[in-house]
Homo-oligomer: A and B are copies of this chain.
Amino acid sequence: MHRRSKQKEAILRILRETTSHPTADWIYEQVRKEIPTVSLGTVYRNLKTMKEQGVILEMEFSGNLSRFDGNSDNHHHFRCDNCGRVFDIDEPVDNELDERVATSTGFLVSYHRLEFRGLCIDCQH
């Protein structure tokens, strides 16, 4: 069963008050302004449980955990959530998409990455 805590409530409120997509560390700094003794571990723990409950969304971004490919043309990938293997996907790359986003946002869009997730054939049983 779940208990309430002012730390958890502060984290969720701060997250909902911003339109940016903050990192755990940024959230930690904000929470510290009202609860100076809060621990970074507490922020991570609560973000994790709220994510599991579907209350918030975690976006994993590029950073470390790289994988390498011997040929260097743009293509999409599928990653198996169970075994972690990565497969090439044959869907054509939609360059028009970049243009649409560019005109609607005013950003300079250089490319996009499309990553499928799920279970590969071996891991479906």
Binding site for B on A (CB under 8 A): 12, 15-16, 18, 20-24, 27, 47, 51, 54-73, 77-81, 85-87, 89-91, 97-98, 100-102, 104-121, 124
In angstroms, how far is the closest chain B Cβ from the Cβ of A98?
A: 7
Q: Which 8 A-B pairs have the closest CB atoms?
A: A63-B65, A60-B62, A21-B86, A16-B70, A57-B69, A21-B67, A110-B118, A57-B72
Which residue on chain B has the smallest CB distance to residue A51? Answer: B68
Give the dominant DSSP class at A's interface: mixed
Please tell me how many copies of the chain the complex holds. Answer: 2
Q: Which of A16, A23, A61, A110 has the most CB of B within 10 A?
A: A61
| Chain B contacts for A78, CB-based, 8 A | 101, 105, 107, 109
